Amino acid sequence: MMSNHTPILRTLLLGATIIAGTAGVSALAQVPPADQPPGNGNATVSPGTPTPPQDAFSPPSPNAPQAPGVNAANIPDGPPAEPSEATPMVEQVTANPAHDDWPGYGRDDRATRYSPLDQITPSNVGHLKRAFIYHTGSKPAPGQVNKWAAETTPIKVGDGLYMCSAMNDMMRIDPATGKEVWHFHANEKYDSIPYTAACKAVVYYTSSTVPEGEHCHHRILEATLDERLIEVDSEDGKVCEGFGWHGMVNLMKGMGESVPGFVAETAPPPIVNGAIITNQEVLDGQRRWAPSGVIRGYDAETGRFLWAWDVNRPHEHGEPKEGEHYSRGTPNSWAAMIGDNALGLVYVPTGNSAADYYSAMRSPEENKVSSAVVAIDVKTGEPRWVFQTVHKDVWDYDIGSQPTLMDFTKPDGSSVPALIMPTKRGQTFVLDRRTGEPVLPVEERPAPSPGMVPGDTRAPTQPWSVGMPRLGFAPLKEADMWGMSPIDQLYCRLKYRRAHYVGEFTPPSIDKPWLEYPGYNGGSDWGSVAYDEKTGILIANWNNTPMYDQLVSRKKADKLGLMPVDDPNYKPGGGGAEGAGAMAETPYGIVVSPFWDEYTGMMCNRPPYGMITAIDMHTQKVLWQHPLGSARANGPFGLPTHLPLTIGTPNNGGPVITAGGLIFVAATTDNMIHAFDIHTGREVWNDVLPGGGQATPMTYEYKGKQYVAIMAGGHHFMMTPVTDDLVVYALDNVN
């Protein structure tokens, strides 16, 4: 901790010291006892007498009760429940997907994003035409700040195409015509949108207790932005009364003080051996004692609470008692998780503790599990193993990707149940699912240390997956700076020289900016990877977009108007998750921007900004790799160049592989969907979408015809056009 706390922080921490028995934190060498956090979830004492605010941010006590209306849907808490096991599960459709179906977010239980469909091939893909466009109905209303990026991948089971809108309406669509069969209205409020209105997918669940033919035997499940689990019947879209409170579970229970939009769910919750596992996005950069990153299990049949994994209450798996809350500021996980029914585990890609860019106030428990893969036993909520991808992360290298499962064949012929974990660093780790041990070599390499922030030392080493090709380039040089002319190139060279930069893991600095490269958009972000088990080919699309960051003193942060989302004076845009953040309750705020020329709006580093890579997992060699995305919709001053040059653009959204030998990927900021021949990497087809294709496509067959669907929902941060259009393609010469 620093000697220059702001007065309000000191007051808060003084209050915190009243709380006796705050577990574990005194072991943090650089933190004197007076700086203990305000209760690891078991705090019941009010933190001292409030003093008049002397800071822009007068924090609500982390121990304050949750105000009514924070649970935006206003549903009651579930009944008190002791830790327990889930109702046994029947086999789900994702275990062995039907040939024609795409029944889960990553298609199957392994999240391979591989489909056995082969009607569309490199030779006939040119005949793809739009079959229909379906409108979800969710996009910004006039006057609303655009926070939309639907990021949705529909699922297809039998006769139904199921999806959610950006604002969590659920719908069933006819797979051939796009006609809506039913529409469930989630009635979500605009205030509940966190950083982004997104809903990556719904989950198809077959009940073990409701007999076939009865209501809610087959169910559609989603987790919402306003922290609900909702189950509806797949046939009529009506809520499952046997689940929670009229089909809903209030996930704000036990979260303590919060405001709408601070905590949200955007990823499909996996169901593992009957347990729905939830994680939640906690808005980055707000305050050190933000709501908890707790991981919880709920019974898929009844919605009953099963267990919690709460980092700073490591061995307590029950719900917090009345007036208590889950431990605050702990690493949140917002990526899509993946389950493992055979091993009884859920693999949780974690993010970072709250206040991403300052680590001195984190507990040793947090430091062990942040920016890691944590395997949790779905019976008990106890972690079985942890593999960390960044030690003491202060770069927002939280994991955005969903892990993909595979069987890895070792040189001696033995097979290992493995997990592929792509990261924002572009390091792809391959781990043994049973133990978390690396299957391919991982080296701990020296990293810049101790850093430049007093009392906040950096880890001396960081892990590098040296057995896998890196989804990234060499460190930036001054000569890599770019522009349209020598003058803007010179400006970027100056920006480069004005910043601290000693390669990857350049520590945060206060006196001047530092260059963060790879940036927090990846490497691999939430798009994740696709894997063809038959050929062993892994497809990954990734980013090459550095960031320009600087820690600022509390005084400066106040002057910049940075304040957390639960400040009464907070205005949308006044410090968002991906820009500058108040990091209240720490000594510093954070200013983050792309490493760009802010006058022309062009990135400072030379292209490409986005790539696609094919890797042979048998040999771990790159088969091909090239820039992804054209310059047609981007250019200086935000003007489209209309040039068909493949420059390689930033991209968000994953790839899919088909047995027809194709890769479909949209993701790029040229607003196109692309098809590549998987063997050559050649682009064999593309089409301009009505909006940005920042989502992972999917493919299905219905009545003998193969379709490819992409949500062209756009992305506010990627500055691509936002629409509510699901665009579905099929060959025009097949009937």
Partner 1 sequence: MSAFMKPHSAAGWATLLLAVIIILLGLPLVYMGAELAFLGGSLYYVVCGLVVTVAGVLMAMGRPAGGLLYLGACAFTWLWAFWEVGLDGWGLLPRVFGPTLLAIGVALCLPVLRRAEQARTTHVREVA
Catalytic amino acids?
Answer: 396
Task: In whole angstroms, give the CA distance from residue 407 to residue 333.
Answer: 25
Task: In whole angstroms, give the CA distance from residue 112 to residue 574.
Answer: 39
696 closest CA partner among 668, 654, 726:
654
By the rule CB under 8 A, 559 interacts with partner 1 = no
Q: Tokens for 131?
A: 């079959």
196 closest CA partner among 544, 524, 572, 563:
572
By the rule CB under 8 A, 513 interacts with partner 1 = no
Q: Count the alpha carbons within 13 Å of 696 in the hemisphere toward its beta carbon.
A: 33
Q: Which is nearer to partner 1, 95 or 487 (CB)?
A: 487
By the rule CB under 8 A, 493 interacts with partner 1 = yes
Q: Tokens for 725?
A: 């259009």
Beta-carbon neighbour count of residue 734 at 10 Å? Answer: 12
By the rule CB under 8 A, 489 interacts with partner 1 = yes
For 341-374, give the DSSP string.
TTTTEEEEE----SSTT--TT--HHHHHHTTEEE
- For CA atoms 637, 493, 647, 502, the dihedral sign is negative
Beta-carbon neighbour count of residue 175 at 10 Å? Answer: 27
* Spatial contact of 369 and 351, defined as CB atoms under 8 Å apart: no
Q: Residue 470 CB, nearest distance to partner 1 (Å)?
A: 20
* Spatial contact of 681 and 566, defined as CB atoms under 8 Å apart: no
Instruction: Give Cα separations from 514 to 456, 476, 482 (angstroms).
Output: 16, 13, 18
Q: Residue 610 CB, nearest distance to partner 1 (Å)?
A: 14
Q: Which is nearer to partner 1, 147 or 493 (CB)?
A: 493
Q: Which is nearer to partner 1, 38 or 483 (CB)?
A: 483
By the rule CB under 8 A, 637 interacts with partner 1 = no
Count of chain residues binding partner 1 (CB under 8 A):
20
Q: Residue 485 CB, nearest distance to partner 1 (Å)?
A: 4
By the rule CB under 8 A, 90 interacts with partner 1 = no
By the rule CB under 8 A, 483 interacts with partner 1 = yes
Q: Which is nearer to partner 1, 627 or 697 (CB)?
A: 627
By the rule CB under 8 A, 479 interacts with partner 1 = yes
Q: Which of the stretches 286-294, 490-498, 555-563, 669-677 binds partner 1 when contact is defined by CB under 8 A?
A: 490-498
Q: Which is nearer to partner 1, 423 or 545 (CB)?
A: 545
By the rule CB under 8 A, 607 interacts with partner 1 = yes
By the rule CB under 8 A, 514 interacts with partner 1 = no
406-445 binders of partner 1 (CB under 8 A): none
Q: Which is nearer to partner 1, 129 or 477 (CB)?
A: 477
Q: Which is nearer to partner 1, 380 or 489 (CB)?
A: 489
451 closest CA partner among 397, 371, 509:
509
Q: Which is nearer to partner 1, 157 or 515 (CB)?
A: 515
Q: Which is nearer to partner 1, 148 or 501 (CB)?
A: 501
Q: Which is nearer to partner 1, 531 or 609 (CB)?
A: 609
Q: Which is nearer to partner 1, 271 or 481 (CB)?
A: 481
By the rule CB under 8 A, 5 interacts with partner 1 = no
By the rule CB under 8 A, 485 interacts with partner 1 = yes
Q: Residue 553 CB, nearest distance to partner 1 (Å)?
A: 24
Q: Which of the stretches 52-60, 318-326, 476-484, 691-699 binds partner 1 when contact is defined by CB under 8 A?
A: 476-484
Q: Which of the stretches 9-17, 431-439, 495-503, 634-642 binds partner 1 when contact is defined by CB under 8 A?
A: 495-503
Q: Which of the stretches 78-86, 141-149, 407-415, 481-489 binds partner 1 when contact is defined by CB under 8 A?
A: 481-489
Beta bridge partners of 553: 588
By the rule CB under 8 A, 45 interacts with partner 1 = no
By the rule CB under 8 A, 482 interacts with partner 1 = yes
Q: Residue 626 CB, nearest distance to partner 1 (Å)?
A: 13
Q: Count the alpha carbons within 13 Å of 372 in the hemisphere toward its beta carbon.
A: 24
Q: Which is nearer to partner 1, 484 or 639 (CB)?
A: 484
Q: Which of the stretches 361-369, 491-499, 520-528, 610-618 binds partner 1 when contact is defined by CB under 8 A?
A: 491-499
Q: Where are the beta strands (DSSP E) in 289-358?
A: 295-299, 305-309, 338-340, 345-349
* Spatial contact of 646 and 687, defined as CB atoms under 8 Å apart: no
Q: Which of the stretches 16-24, 344-352, 388-396, 484-492 binds partner 1 when contact is defined by CB under 8 A?
A: 484-492
Q: Which of the stretches 235-243, 361-369, 496-504, 711-719 binds partner 1 when contact is defined by CB under 8 A?
A: 496-504
Please select the residue that binds partner 1; options are 10, 130, 606, 626, rule is CB under 8 A: 606
Q: Residue 720 CB, nearest distance to partner 1 (Å)?
A: 22
By the rule CB under 8 A, 127 interacts with partner 1 = no
Please select the residue that binds partner 1; options are 342, 487, 639, 734, rule is CB under 8 A: 487
Task: In whole angstroms, give the CA distance from residue 327 to residue 362.
Answer: 12
By the rule CB under 8 A, 494 interacts with partner 1 = yes
In sequence order, what are the residues at sequence separation of 6 or more whose Cβ sits closer than 8 angstroms to the Cβ of residue 219?
204, 205, 206, 207, 231, 232, 233, 234, 240, 243
Provide φ and ψ at 100, rounded to 5°. Answer: -85, -10
Please select the residue that binds partner 1; options are 565, 647, 673, 708, rule is CB under 8 A: 647
Task: In whole angstroms, give the CA distance from residue 598 to residue 594.
Answer: 9
Task: In whole angstroms, give the CA distance from residue 721 to residue 182.
Answer: 27
* Residue 42 identity: N
Task: In whole angstroms, give the CA distance from residue 577 to residue 195.
Answer: 6
For 608-662, give the DSSP string.
PSEEEEEEETTTTEEEEEEE-SBSTT--GGG-------B----B-S-EEEETTTE
Please select the residue that binds partner 1; options are 496, 526, 531, 685, rule is CB under 8 A: 496
Task: In whole angstroms, give the CA distance from residue 155 to residue 161.
Answer: 6
State the DSSP code for 561.
Answer: T
Please select the residue that binds partner 1; options are 34, 145, 484, 734, rule is CB under 8 A: 484
Q: Residue 612 CB, nearest distance to partner 1 (Å)?
A: 17
User: What number of residues does the chain have?
Assistant: 735
Q: Residue 651 CB, nearest distance to partner 1 (Å)?
A: 18
687 closest CA partner among 128, 119, 150:
128
By the rule CB under 8 A, 626 interacts with partner 1 = no
Q: Residue 240 CB, nearest distance to partner 1 (Å)?
A: 55
- Give the burial string for 641-676 (b: 16+ CB within 10 Å, else e): eeeeebbbbbbbbbbbbbbbbbbbbbbbbbbbbbbb
Q: Which of the stretches 99-107, 114-122, 239-247, 486-494 binds partner 1 when contact is defined by CB under 8 A?
A: 486-494
Q: Residue 476 CB, nearest distance to partner 1 (Å)?
A: 13
Give burial (CB, 10 Å; 0-12/13-18/19+) of 400: buried
By the rule CB under 8 A, 497 interacts with partner 1 = yes
* Spatial contact of 590 and 286, defined as CB atoms under 8 Å apart: no
Q: Residue 676 CB, nearest distance to partner 1 (Å)?
A: 21
197-256 binders of partner 1 (CB under 8 A): none
The site for partner 1 (CB under 8 A) is made up of: 478-479, 482-491, 493-494, 496-498, 606-607, 647
